Structure 1
Amino acid sequence: MLDSRPPSTVLNYYNAYYCPVCRHGEISALPLMEAFSCNFCSHIFTANLDKQAITIVDSQLPLTWSWTGKRWQNIRSVQRFQWGYRLLALGFVVLPTLVVAAGAYLFPVLPDSPLAWFSWFWVGLTFLSHLVCLLWLILEYYQFPLSLYFEALRDNLLSRLSSLN
């Protein structure tokens, strides 16, 4: 198949590309397989060279990215469920916070009591705890290697500091 793009911008098994998941490692072809693997986050991708796209295979959700020649572009394969998930996530964070806030508003404590601040502190804690749970679920679902990402940032910062000295 002949392609009108220059060879350097075409997705093939001979070049290495940056990882679309962690954006730190490089994906390259696995030996004796028609697949790519990241050397940083260890995700495995299958390639469709005709469509210039890769799909992650070690995740529950088959995320697909298309190679534009310079960067990866996300292809939304599950767009019909996207708004439902967003509303569910918003409800998971906002609804319990509103219930606790309604309790704090409707049943106020005496203003001169020593723990008068605690009810509104509890509202904020409810919001933050549900938000942290939601972020944790997102990180687990997409299998983003957060610890490896922070380790790479630390190594990058240390290398920059050592180059200044």
Structure 2
Amino acid sequence: MLKAHSHSDRFHDKGTYPCPVCRHGEISSMLLMETFACNFCQHIFTTNFDKQVLKMADSQLPLSWYWNGKNWKGIQREGAELGWGYLIAGLIFVLFPTGIIGIGAYLFPPLPDSPLSWLPLVWLILTFFSHLFCLVWLVIEYYQFPIFLYIRAIKRRLFASDY
């Protein structure tokens, strides 16, 4: 198969290209179909060779990329730009509940010799990390980042050398 590596290379159906989603695997044309698929994350893509555009077909989100001859450049979707508002909302989602718990623990500290004197600190840490986990999970779901496929592929590579 042809490899696409130089700036003069146009996106076409006979080449293999780096996957724009996982950035680890390669996408190539599927047999008897007019689609591309990644050999690592297994996402399926539709193509527009005239515009040099690749669009993820197996996602609810219309993720698209433009081939510049060397790599993929993301195409922003209308109304879906992640700007400062989303960053601030994410920070508030993580820090506001944590701050409430922290202020409560500071204003009403437990007695130092009580058996549950450790609980406010643990509750504060759990609040922070649970909200942070929710935020990270939303970002992973939004961008369809194949985290579980990465873990599975790493396991496969680690244990394949044992056989």
TM-score interval for Structure 1 and Structure 2 normalised by the shorter chain = 0.7 to 0.9
Cα RMSD after superposing both structures: 2.3
- For the residue of structure 2 that corresponds to 1:100, the secondary structure is helix
Where does residue 114 of structure 1 map in the other structure? 115
Q: Which runs of 5+ in 2 are unaligned?
A: 1-6
* TM-score normalized by the length of structure 2: 0.80
Alignment coverage as a number of residue pairs: 155
Q: Kindly indicate whether residue 18 of structure 2 is the aligned counterpart of residue 13 of structure 1.
A: no
Q: Which amino acid aligns with 1:53?
A: V
How many Å apart are 1:48 and its aligned residue?
A: 2.3
Structure 1 segments of 4+ aligned residues over 6 angstroms from their partners: none
Residue of structure 2 in register with 1:125 after alignment: 126
Quote the Cα distance in structure 2 between the aligned partners of 1:22 and 1:12. Answer: 20
Q: Write out aligned runs for 1:16-95 (5 A).
A: 16-78=16-78, 81-83=81-83, 84-95=85-96
Partner of 1:150: 151
Asked if the contact 1:59/1:142 (under 8 Å) is kept, the reply is no
- How far residue 34 of structure 1 moved from its aligned partner, in angstroms, is 3.1
**Structure 1 residue 125: Cα displacement:** 0.7
- Aligned with 2:11: secondary structure? coil
Deviation for aligned residue 1:158? 5.0
> What secondary structure, in the 3-state scheme, does the structure 1 residue paired with 2:20 have?
coil
Identity of aligned residues (%): 52
How far, CA to CA, are the matches of 2:144 and 2:82 in structure 1?
18
TM-score (norm 1): 0.79
Deviation at 1:12, TM superposition (A): 0.5
C-alpha change, 1:66 and 1:27, in structure 2 (3 Å) is: same
Question: Given residue 10 of structure 1, which amino acid in structure 2 is its aligned partner?
Answer: R
SS in 2 for 1:102: helix
